[in-house]
A and B are shown apart, each in its own frame.
Chain A
Amino acid sequence: MRPIRQEEIQVASALLTATSLKVRYGAVEAVRGIDFEIRAGEIVAFLGANGAGKSSTLNALVGLVALASGKVVFDGHEITNGKPETLVSAGLTLSPEGRRIFPTLSVADNLRMGAYSVVSKQKVAEAWERVFELFPILYERRNQLSGTLSGGQQQMLAVGRALMSGPRLLLLDEPSLGLAPKIVEQIFELIVRLREHEVTMAIVEQNVAMCLEVADRGYVMASGRIVFQGNASELKSTTFLQDAYLGGN
């Protein structure tokens, strides 16, 4: 028997593997061939300036934008260019940038839609319990129209809605965008608590400092490419991060 090498163990425990992803909008190449992986139980950060291709990457994973080329494997199955409506039942979902709750639906109906794909009544009941335990405020406001919630509450609703499907990998696109500093702290505390619930997460964030407090690893993107990758402490000390935000390469 040959010895198992370190990288083989990593590949085996990768929940999601992306290989040479490319996303194109017309003539513009937003993502230019990137490779990354997300392992079970991790929090992985995607950092970089506006337009670096972070959101496009997440959207491509869930099928909201088409991949020009590349390959995505989730939980051992290829899901390249899968339809968003089928990926959620496989355990992959996205809490989109800008929250995008359904404003004229009640808080409870928003959450109910989050569990749309879940067939088992018992699992739906568990999801309600879990989300209301994580967000007591959503229980208090369950009959309110969600458009009338504050920004922070709407963000909690967006995350809660994504959790209703019982995801194994949750993609969070700018969860702190437009929120007051105190609320941002709450959101990141929540992310840490979610990990205790065995949710693996990939986070796109502008708030680098906060993000690196909670993340295990991260990828720094610039102009559609990954320019640096490492664990959180390596990311904190690298100059690539400053360069990526200042537009250098």
Chain B
Amino acid sequence: MDFFVQQTLNAIALGGTYALLALGLAVVFSIMKLINFAHGELMTSAGYVLMYCGLHGVPFALSVALAILTSTVLAVLMERVAFRSVRNASGATMLITSFAVATVLQVLFQNLISSRSQPVLLPNFLSESVTVAGFVIGNNKIVAIVATVVMLGFLDWFMKYQKHGIAMRAAAEDFAVARLMGIRANTVIAGAFALSGLLAGVAAVLWVSQRASVDPLMGFTPVLKAFIAAILGGLGSLRGAVAGGFMLGFIEIYLAAFLPPDMQEFRDPIGLGIVVLLLLLRPNGLIPSPGLGAVKA
């Protein structure tokens, strides 16, 4: 029972990080129909800011703020420099553009910083743990869960009650008509990228706080997972992205915890098999996006 509760907390913490990343992908996709594979590099950039801040003794709270600010600004720049000119191009063109942006940034990280993994100095309290009702819980897990809840709450409030959030949802449903209302295409797209950068920054802080290191390809794996989560949840659907992120987190952690030892090496294929099975049952994802042409089951 003990072990089960521990693993469930781990699953929520990991799933939450996937959810934040998947949400970042979904916000951009829902408006621009772009799958931004350079999302991982936003994470990596925030990771390097944490590394440099650690080296220079910047207080942790400030370095977290700087890291998140960096990925947010980088996301907006990415849109301005790379994606604006291909905005009306085909999905394939935009996808290739995002791969190019990702590659350029990875090479820059390798050549300007280091191709090897760098340690990130973290405050001690993150590696400590507390005992709650007889359960030992790592502080970093608590931080991850709290940060996820706060971010999801913030995003829900923003999308439901803020004029600009509602405008983003309107643009996601019908971009041309949203423009007729006076909703500026550039503003709403830049806003979507800023949000995705913000989410990637928070996810990066959580990711780094579990591993205490950063390398040029750090963002690749989690964003690939987040992409799977976004599809599992229903591509373009924000609630779906959250659901998919948590679902994937639970699948991964429970398989790692409860699969017999001799089957552990098949963990990933089994996990992806479950995802495929879920998609066979629900081809449009767990919570499909109403705006997209639905796949007929």
Contacts and interface: CB of A to CB of B under 8 A. Distances in A.
A159 to B, nearest CB: 13
A113 B166 contact: yes
Contacts of B166: 105, 109, 112-113
Interface of B: 163, 166-167, 169-170, 173-174, 176-185, 290-291
B181 A161 contact: yes
Given A102-B170, A104-B169, A105-B169, A89 B182 contact: yes
Contact of B173 (A62, A96, A102): A102
A83 B175 CA distance: 13
Contacts of B180: 62, 64, 84-85, 88, 93-94, 96
A117 B181 contact: yes
B173 A104 contact: yes
A247 interface: no
B interface: dominant SS = helix
B185 A85 contact: yes
A233 B279 CA distance: 60
Nearest to B291: A104
A93 B167 CA distance: 17
Given A104-B169, A105-B166, A116 B174 contact: no
A242 to B, nearest CB: 34
A118 to B, nearest CB: 8
A84 B163 contact: no
Given A102-B173, A105-B170, A113-B167, 15 more contacts: A84-B176, A84-B179, A85-B185, A88-B180, A96-B176, A96-B177, A100-B174, A102-B178, A109-B166, A112-B163, A113-B170, A113-B183, A116-B167, A161-B181, A165-B181
B183 A116 contact: yes
Interface string A148-170: 00000000000001000100000
A114 interface: yes
15 contacts: A62-B180, A64-B176, A64-B179, A94-B180, A96-B180, A102-B169, A102-B170, A104-B173, A104-B290, A104-B291, A105-B170, A110-B170, A117-B182, A147-B290, A161-B181
A103 interface: yes
A83 B167 CA distance: 17
Nearest to B187: A85
A223 to B, nearest CB: 25
A147 B181 CA distance: 18
Contacts of B177: 96, 100, 102
Most chain B beta-carbon contacts within 10 A, residue among A64, A85, A165: A85
Contacts of B185: 85
Given A85-B184, A94-B180, A114-B181, A103 B290 contact: yes
A149 to B, nearest CB: 15
Contacts of A64: 176, 179-180
B182 A116 contact: yes
Nearest to B176: A64
